[in-house]
Structure 1
Amino acid sequence: MPVPPTASEPSSHLLVPFASASDPACRAALPGLVLPQLTALLGELIPVYTDAGDDHSLSPPHERALAQAIGLLRADGCPFGDGLIPWAAAEGAQPDRPQAWFTPCHFQVGMEQVTLLPGDQLDLADGHARALFDALAPYCAEDGIVLSYTSAARWHAQGEPLRDIACASLDRVGGRSVEAWMAESAANPSGGRLLKRLQSEAQMLFYSHPVHDAREVARLHPVNGFWVSGAGALGHPPALRPRPTMPDGLRHAALKADWPAWQRAWTALDANEIAQWRARARRGEPITLTLCGERTAQRFTNAPQGTGARLGRMFKNLLGQPPAWKTLETL
């Protein structure tokens, strides 16, 4: 498998998650976006790499783009497969050990589907999260998984059952039906079955826990399960590059399907980070811009400054630069 071209230095790389989304309401809102800075910046850049996928991949485009940008690759130099980017191992002290993130969440049972709200959308305080963590950790230990408390919305898990488990990112499943996104593994079917059983046990355990009643009294969503993401191991200690700049405003609005807020976030992004990157480009600094939707990520740069690139810019400027939303609707 060929390795995608390497992005420029991270300090010059702006990576934008949820620059577009697949929701019909978002698509309808695109023509109303007025983004003068992005339109002008795209006129000065050349597309250098497109990662085309679909809405059903376990790893969304912005996570694939981030893994490429920081150099998170397999030992053979190839990108990780869908849903197999080992984010927990990459951040762990023992990257060669199978690891994952367990996120406490609320499964909302509807008439025809079960949807998920992750911990960062539940007003989950440390007191409640700690109590549920302490209750679940012994069950995990019985199955060879060591659970460590990282934050209220994210717990670190380590153990052999987490090897080669393909997981859907929370940015994929949040607010959606979970049926099509449950963790699976052709390489480790026993690990997949173990995790499903552990999730079922957590559902019963959390339902009978005093935290459940306390949250109901406070009119908060009960925590009735956890989601597994970022599972796997690295065959060698990663020598990762620093992360690119990743604004989060579009992501927060998109995961809540709040498209008016998403439009406002784009207006703010255009006036701030995009304007800053355009100013850097006009000073002649090499920059990289990666725009990510829910299907596709596209990377742009103003380098190299070869004859072909300069002619391409001149030709594009002669034809006139289309509004930025035309680019966003392709993502």
Structure 2
Amino acid sequence: MAPITLVLPFALPVPEFAADLIRVLQAPALAALLSRTAQHRFHPLPPNARALPHELWIADALGLMRGVEPALATGVMRGYGLDPEDGTWFVVNPTHIQIARTHLMMDDLRGLDLREDEGRALFEAALPSIADSGYRLLYGAADTWFLRADAWDDLRTATPDAAVGMNLTDWMPTGDKARAFRKLQNDVQVTWYTHPVNAAREARGRQAINSIWPWGGASLATEQAHKLVAGARRRLGAPPALVTHAVPAWLDALATRRLESPSAFAVQLDGEGGDETVLVCGSVTAPAIAADWDGWLREMTRLETELFAPLLEAVKTGRVKQLRLVLSHRDGALETVTTPMAQRKFWRRPTLEALT
């Protein structure tokens, strides 16, 4: 069987709570996978990165990088059946930005509950302002749009999950065209301020959609160049097959398969073959971002039963010849590799200390 990589965003708890959490977490299979390894390395987040560690890892594995930033827009567009054509495109997420006591903050997109009819209505309302400014906007889904802005090629942007809950002063787009973005953002905000969609959302206890967030700028030319570089580095002709569960819409759009539950992957292990498979399971992300550590523990316990234990058994029996784990938090990612031979290292006591 081809190698399998399991990417678990936010499976590393924040350092200040890690010791207490691993004392409570009951995950013997995960402990064995993390302790009996052939490779073990922690990758700190690069300085000035504007994406999370797991996002950089995935973009790099798929050959969708531009310098040190994820360049995902054109790939995500194809996932929605859209043609990127020429030019520079950005993923655009309609979002809610709130005024905290001393700064602006963006809400987690997962909690916005933006319905299809709402997303379509806000999209149509924003079109005139965007067209008048000389840009083009395409609709992918209620929460995922695409903006063509060729002159913004050098705009440095941040992924939504990197910026959520943070002081947005540090995460707003930067570069020569940052002012042009802020003007466009302001025009859209004014258009939506009294929109009936937001009045209806607030009436049912939901946050108003009051801004847009662009990121992941890419063009077909830069995408092709970086795919060639990534392919040469891996000495492979194709990127790994991407399988997803409980991830943001942009990741689902890049996937070859989407799972309703983690257990579905374990059930289908015997069917995995050919190219390397990367499974991204994001079910602990939302509780970690919200600092809901009880929820984090519940999700990790569920993954122990539905994913870690079946994968450990598959490695031990040789059904999986190599299993790579990529576990991350905001500041870095732990990458380990285990094999059937490594799992025979009985003298290594299974422990979750690697999570600290």
Report the TM-score when normalising by structure 1: 0.81
Following superposition, the deviation at residue 160 of structure 1 comes to 0.5
Structure 1 residues 23, 302: CA separation in 2 closer, same or farther (over 3 Å shift)? closer
Name the structure 2 match of 1:265: 299
For structure 2, the residue ranges without an aligned partner over 5 or more in a row are 78-82, 228-237, 243-277
> Conserved in 2, the CA contact under 8 Å of 1:22 and 1:55?
no
Name the structure 2 match of 1:121: 111
Following superposition, the deviation at residue 113 of structure 1 comes to 2.1
Structure 1 residues 16, 119: CA separation in 2 closer, same or farther (over 3 Å shift)? closer
Name the structure 2 match of 1:301: 337
Name the structure 2 match of 1:202: 188
Name the structure 1 match of 2:80: none
What's the CA shift string for 1:47-102, capped at 9, x where partnerless? 2554212696311111111123333355xxxxx31xx2111122333376311111
> Conserved in 1, the CA contact under 8 Å of 2:36 and 2:338?
yes
- Spell out the pairing of 1:273-284 with structure 2 (5 A cutoff): 273-284=307-318
CA distance in structure 2 between the partners assigned to 1:116 and 1:130 by the alignment: 21
List structure 1 runs of 4+ shifted beyond 6 angstroms: none
Structure 1 residues 72, 217: CA separation in 2 closer, same or farther (over 3 Å shift)? closer
Structure 1 residues 236, 105: CA separation in 2 closer, same or farther (over 3 Å shift)? closer
CA distance in structure 1 between the partners assigned to 2:21 and 2:35 by the alignment: 22
> Conserved in 2, the CA contact under 8 Å of 1:45 and 1:313?
no
- Spell out the pairing of 1:184-223 with structure 2 (5 A cutoff): 184-185=174-175, 189-190=176-177, 192-223=178-209
> Conserved in 1, the CA contact under 8 Å of 2:317 and 2:340?
no
Name the structure 1 match of 2:57: 65
RMSD: 2.7
Name the structure 1 match of 2:129: 139
Report how many aligned residue pairs link the two structures.
Answer: 301
The one of 223, 231, 235 aligned to 2:222: 235
What's the CA shift string for 1:256-280, capped at 9, x where partnerless? 2221101111111112211122112
Is structure 2 residue 170 aligned with structure 1 residue 180?
Answer: yes
What's the CA shift string for 1:84-134, capped at 9, x where partnerless? 211112233337631111111111212212211144311211222111111
Name the structure 2 match of 1:102: 92
The one of 273, 277, 284 aligned to 1:250: 284
> Conserved in 2, the CA contact under 8 Å of 1:169 and 1:230?
yes
SS at match of 1:15: strand
Match for 1:289: what amino acid? L
Is structure 2 residue 324 aligned with structure 1 residue 288?
Answer: yes
Name the structure 2 match of 1:327: 354
Match for 1:323: what amino acid? T
Is structure 2 residue 59 aligned with structure 1 residue 42?
Answer: no
Is structure 2 residue 48 aligned with structure 1 residue 20?
Answer: no
What's the CA shift string for 1:220-264, capped at 9, x where partnerless? 211111111212334254453322111121112222222110111
CA distance in structure 2 between the partners assigned to 1:107 and 1:40 by the alignment: 42
> Conserved in 1, the CA contact under 8 Å of 2:35 and 2:351?
no
CA distance in structure 1 between the partners assigned to 2:102 and 2:186 by the alignment: 19
The one of 157, 179, 190 aligned to 1:167: 157
Q: Percent identity?
A: 26
Q: Greater CA deviation, 112-121 or 101-110?
A: 112-121
CA distance in structure 1 between the partners assigned to 2:86 and 2:18 by the alignment: 40
Name the structure 2 match of 1:87: 72
Structure 1 residues 236, 112: CA separation in 2 closer, same or farther (over 3 Å shift)? closer
Structure 1 residues 101, 137: CA separation in 2 closer, same or farther (over 3 Å shift)? same
Structure 1 residues 112, 272: CA separation in 2 closer, same or farther (over 3 Å shift)? same
Following superposition, the deviation at residue 303 of structure 1 comes to 5.4
